[in-house]
């Protein structure tokens, strides 16, 4: 009876018992209890599988969000130069407090000094001696009264320390800003 209730006995073998089950109350009662136990076990198994899938998906989603947030924060630096006066040439103003960013940065969002025009700009990071370390270029756009320049610039190969960030409108002179890379 248990085999019939748990669907482990082939239907051909179960046929011999079906007539007896329908006529014998104690056997039918036992069969019904076995069948309820089988259905309960099956529901619990399906529920456990569904819960496992849900937990795995939740953990995977959480890990993906954490990874995405971590990489976004670690890779983008905002440099606000709106209140900086323009210093032309290779040497930055020695009295200016340096900008600070992480060497893990791969994208710079630069708010150019007030009065800067839209267009193509060159950016480079240089040693205090003037030796160029990393270069990039991008197009500055005016948005809400701010000239913003976004460039991809992987700084992971640049050693931490004091450097110079140089920006120029393509074809013009460099403007220099002191920078500390952590």
117-163 per-position pLDDT tens digit:
999 999 999 988 888 999 999 999 998 889 999 998 888 888 899 99
What is the C-alpha to C-alpha distance for residues 21 and 25, in angstroms, rounded to an integer?
Answer: 7
What is the C-alpha to C-alpha distance for residues 53 and 161, in angstroms, rounded to an integer?
Answer: 48
9-62 per-position pLDDT tens digit:
887 888 877 778 788 888 888 888 988 999 999 999 999 999 999 999 999 999
pLDDT at site 77: 87
Question: Among 36-45, 93-102, 159-168, which stretch is predicted with the lowest mean pLDDT?
Answer: 93-102
- Tokens found for residue 35: 């069948």
DSSP string, 6-48: TT-S-HHHHHHHHHHHHH-HHHHHHHHHHHHHHHHHHHHHHHH
- Tokens found for residue 63: 């890990």
Neighbours of 137 (CB within 10 A): 15
Let me know: does 91 contact 172? Beta carbons within 8 Å: no
pLDDT at site 51: 96
């Amino acid at each position: 009876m248990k085999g019939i209730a748990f669907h482990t006995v082939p239907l051909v073998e179960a046929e011999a018992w079906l007539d007896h089950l329908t006529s014998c109350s104690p056997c039918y009662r036992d069969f019904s209890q076995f069948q309820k136990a089988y259905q309960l076990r099956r529901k619990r198994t399906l529920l456990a599988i569904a819960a496992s899938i849900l937990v795995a998906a939740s953990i995977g989603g959480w890990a993906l969000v954490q990874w995405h947030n971590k990489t976004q924060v670690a890779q983008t630096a905002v440099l606000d130069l709106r209140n900086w006066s323009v210093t032309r040439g290779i040497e930055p103003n020695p009295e200016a407090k340096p900008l600070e960013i992480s060497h893990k940065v791969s994208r710079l969002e630069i708010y150019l000094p007030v009065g800067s025009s839209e267009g193509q700009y060159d950016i480079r990071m240089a040693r205090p001696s003037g030796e160029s370390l990393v270069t990039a270029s991008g197009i500055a756009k005016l948005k809400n009264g701010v000239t913003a320049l976004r460039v991809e610039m992987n700084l992971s190969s640049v050693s931490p320390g004091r450097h110079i960030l140089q920006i120029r409108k393509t074809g013009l002179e460099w403007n220099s800003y002191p920078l500390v890379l952590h």
